[in-house]
A and B are shown apart, each in its own frame.
Chain A
Amino acid sequence: MSETIDLAHAPGPRKLQIWRGDLTSGELVEYELETEPGMVVLDAVLEIQRSQAPDLAVRWNCKAAKCGSCSAEVNGRPRLMCKTRLDHLPADEPITVEPMRAFPLIRDLVTDVSWNYRVNKQITPFTPRESLKPGVEVNEKGEFLIDQADTDRMSEFRKCIECFMCQDVCHILRDHRLHDRYYGPRFMMRMASLDMHPLDGVDRLDQIADEGGIGLCNITKCCTEVCPEGIHITDNAIIPMKERVVDQRHDPLLKLLHRTPNKGRRKPPPRTETPTL
């Protein structure tokens, strides 16, 4: 999703069209402001809030692309407002700023993302295997022994700042509104990071396939395209998890050989709740 880059663009007046409204009604409202070098969309929105629209609702916190609060759709693409420079957006037209679409609107640029937290609650947290081999998997001080190679694979997913833009852009949630049947890329990735933990003792594949709904994903990769952390969500998390589900459920050869994946991992406790929007 490359955008015309105009690094030489000098600061000057810019127009922003910001979506104002709530669940019942709303519209894009145009504001004009003076810009300064290096200004990001969030700077502009906050300046408008300070000087022109004091009731403009916007969620933000760190303004350093580390907390993932200020997700919005800038010129139609999900982006962190604090990481999107005005001078990287086409200078000759107004910049549109809208709330994420996959979640219910609260007001203006703020959406209700609590569904994500309900999903997270359904995922059994990391639980070490019951018997860890001393000297191989755990040392005498009780510290885990894990290789950097394993760490590297898991930590890519753990870079996630939960901006929920992958959830926003995922058409299963955005267009088809199947929030009760698919956990979304963020949580496919969360489960991948747990499943790939060398010392995790939970068999998560049924949840990934059934409640998680990984089969609904048609790997169109928009989650990967919008990830501000550059995580390869589709290639490194979702597809490997799909393949693990194939190991367990579809592969005729493995069935013939009676090879079952996840040996030694326990079934998680049953989940009682289906997270709905």
Chain B
Amino acid sequence: MSEQGIEHHDYDVLILGSGGSGLRAAIAAAEAGARTGLVCKSLLGKAHTVMAEGGLAASLGNVAPEDGWSTHFQDTMFGGKYLNNWRMAELHAKEAPDRARELEHWGAVFDRTPERTMSQRAFGGHTYKRLVHIGDRTGLEMIRTLHDRTVHSNVEVFMETTVTRLIKDGDRVVGCFGYRRQTGELISFSAKALVLATGGSGRIYKITSNSQDCTGDGYALAYEAGAQLVDMEFVQFHPTGMVYPPGVAGLLVTEAVRGEGGILRNANGERFMERYDPKRMELSTRDVVARSIYTEVKEGRGTPHGGAYLDVSHLDSDYVKRKLPSMYDQFLELAGVDITKEPMQVGPTCHYFMGGVKVDPDTGVSRVPGLFATGEASGGMNGANRLGGNSLGDLLVFGRRAGEGAAATANASGPVTLPPEAVADAQAEIEGFLHGSGNENPFHMHRELQKIMGDGVGIFRDEEGLSEAIGKLEELDARVANLRAPSDRLDYNPGLQLCREVKNMLTVSHMIARGALLREESRGAHSRLDHTGYSDYWGEHNIIVEGTSTQEMSLTPTPVVKRDELEALVEARKEAEKAS
């Protein structure tokens, strides 16, 4: 306890977020000898990673022996439309197999091949069968394994604790500030290195597959702390979310449904992917399938509830129940549809943020000393579009690297202290949410924000819609200072929680809308109706976002980070694509 009576803790490395990347980073930091703390908004093991269904992409070559890291690298680059950070794609492709094996040594249980090795399944955009999986709950398996490893790794965990500010001393991040959700008690942390593993921000859209926690906290905290972000305009809309009933609209229907042989049809019964990607059909990349479904619906060939039919009823019903048990359950329970007999109705849903904090690929450090980022909170690995299965690999590969990077920084650093004025400032913000003079209801503002983003910054974008959206976001900027929780009680106050989250989401929305306006082309997950083709210029440039407030947000096109030794692989893939 410090003098002001605020609970305080000191660590070498502090991790924010308990999803796959946060847990992996915590394990790595603790193994490197750092005193490690982990802060998460929810209970341990509830993070959005549990929602990952399909699998973890790693070129083990168990099913397709010809597979190797170079093909995986090429697939990732092609999927990302060559905007990926080459080094990140390389590290990911090279290290994912080791991370998968390591997970197994920590007790994870995956489906097997007849040769008793880890089985691998096909997924969109992957040349070979590559995804290590267990049924359709691979994310849960991963989180449980990492969760158990973490609690036995001498990591101290702060559950249901929300961080509202990063605290800097000069140029350097030295800790953070927040409150315990269960009691509303304030809490501060000092740390020699801090890792953001806060995931994405799907909650800025109404139709999303994301958990309640996915409110872009890491993006906003890093931005305010002076970090750069990259590729924020690329928001992946997963092609298949549930569309009915309304309460579950957006709920994910795993790509494994298509991987296992699911067929997409429109209301006329046509297998429409023949028109959009006759070669890969249903297993085309996510951006293509999402746009195809959207177009079919827009042109009047949608299902009664405004989606496309996704059908697995031609497959053996026992096989479906064994390979896709939670999908079977989900549809039966929530929609009253038996997927072994009837088709599902699906439509695009906001799923993943390719963009994020720009970090050093090898260590995960951001531009701000002491501040690291990993997983979905970091950007660059996935370029303009992420391949299914690459996020779980990403979490492990870069989670470990960020944890080790942070531990190395911490080991080389002397003790840090929190400047009292920064703590007072952070405290005042929370005080304002509870007892301020404002009267903006965070629940209502969240809905408004979701509407703005859904209307203007959705799957298809144009200048008019984006400009209008930015105008409306600026109106919200003016009101955000007046956010106040409808109730001023401290314990488990959902309004208090949402106040800061809405602020974060607003910042993230600005980044997306402005990036989308600047990028005058269509590439990967970013589709402009007024600029439908690829642009040579933009094909070589990422957009870097920086600033400290939404008013002074600057966006700068920056050349893609390449690597000479990988040039031949990338060129070979580009040639191959042209030839076909």
Contacts and interface: CB of A to CB of B under 8 A. Distances in A.
**Direct contact between A and B judged by beta carbons closer than 8 A:** yes
Interface of A: 7, 22, 36-40, 43, 49-50, 54-69, 83, 85, 106-108, 110, 112-114, 117, 120-121, 124-126, 128, 139, 141-148, 151, 154-155, 158-162, 193-194, 197, 230
Interface string B246-267: 1110011000000000000000
A49 B442 CA distance: 12
A126 B42 contact: no
B554 interface: no
Given A55-B487, A64-B251, A147-B116, A120 B148 contact: yes
Interface residues of B, number: 66
B334 A40 contact: yes
28 contacts: A36-B246, A40-B334, A54-B441, A54-B443, A54-B495, A55-B494, A61-B212, A62-B212, A63-B211, A63-B251, A66-B50, A66-B140, A66-B326, A67-B46, A68-B46, A83-B333, A106-B182, A112-B182, A117-B43, A121-B151, A145-B117, A146-B116, A147-B112, A151-B110, A158-B141, A159-B137, A160-B144, A161-B140
A62 B48 contact: yes
B116, B149, B213 interface centre (most CB from chain A within 10 Å): B116
Contact of A146 (B112, B140, B211, B245): B112
Contacts of B140: 66, 158-159, 161
B492 A107 contact: yes
B516 interface: no
A148 B112 contact: yes
Given A139-B117, A151-B111, A108 B492 contact: yes
A55 B109 contact: no
Contacts of B104: 143-144
Nearest to B182: A106
Rank and list the top 5 A-B pairs by shortest CB-CB distance, nearest first: A38-B245, A126-B107, A55-B487, A54-B486, A57-B492
Interface string B33-48: 0000000001111111
Contact of B494 (A57, A139, A147, A161): A57
Contacts of A67: 42, 45-47, 50-51, 211
Contacts of A107: 491-492
Contacts of B319: none
B334 A85 contact: yes
Contacts of B152: 121, 124-125
Given A57-B493, A120-B148, A125-B106, 5 more contacts: A39-B247, A59-B492, A65-B333, A143-B118, A144-B105
Nearest to B447: A50
Contact of B106 (A7, A61, A126): A126
B479 interface: no
Interface string B109-137: 11110011110000000000000001101
A54 to B, nearest CB: 3
A64 B494 contact: no
B422 interface: no
A251 B487 CA distance: 61
B489 interface: yes
Contact of A55 (B247, B252, B493): B493
Nearest to A194: B107
A151 B107 CA distance: 11
Nearest to B245: A38
Contact of B109 (A43, A64, A83, A155): A155
B368 interface: no
B59 to A, nearest CB: 12
B96 interface: no
B144 to A, nearest CB: 7
A197 B109 CA distance: 9
Contacts of A108: 492
A155 B134 contact: yes
Task: Name B's interface SS.
Answer: loop
B314 interface: no
Contacts of A154: 109
A64 B247 contact: no
Contacts of A155: 109, 134-135, 141
Contacts of B278: none
A67 B330 CA distance: 14
Nearest to A153: B109
B101 interface: yes
A147 B115 CA distance: 8
A41 B329 CA distance: 18
A38 B246 contact: yes
B555 interface: no
Contact of A148 (B46, B111, B246, B248): B111
B246 A37 contact: yes
Interface string B150-188: 011000010100000000000000000000001000000
Nearest to B115: A145
Contact of B211 (A37, A61, A148): A61
B470 interface: no
A62 B495 CA distance: 18
Contacts of A68: 46
B414 interface: no
B238 to A, nearest CB: 13
Contact of B252 (A64, A106, A121): A64
Nearest to B62: A143
B336 interface: yes
Nearest to A88: B333
A55 B112 contact: no
A120 B44 CA distance: 12
Contacts of B144: 158, 160
B485 interface: yes
A158 B109 contact: yes
Nearest to A80: B333
A214 B144 CA distance: 23
Nearest to A60: B212
A49 B137 CA distance: 31
A44 to B, nearest CB: 9
Contacts of B32: none
A147 B443 CA distance: 50
A83 B334 contact: yes
Nearest to B209: A64
A55 B251 contact: no
Given A38-B246, A50-B443, A126-B106, A57 B112 contact: no
Nearest to A49: B494
B335 interface: yes
B50 A125 contact: no
Nearest to B119: A148
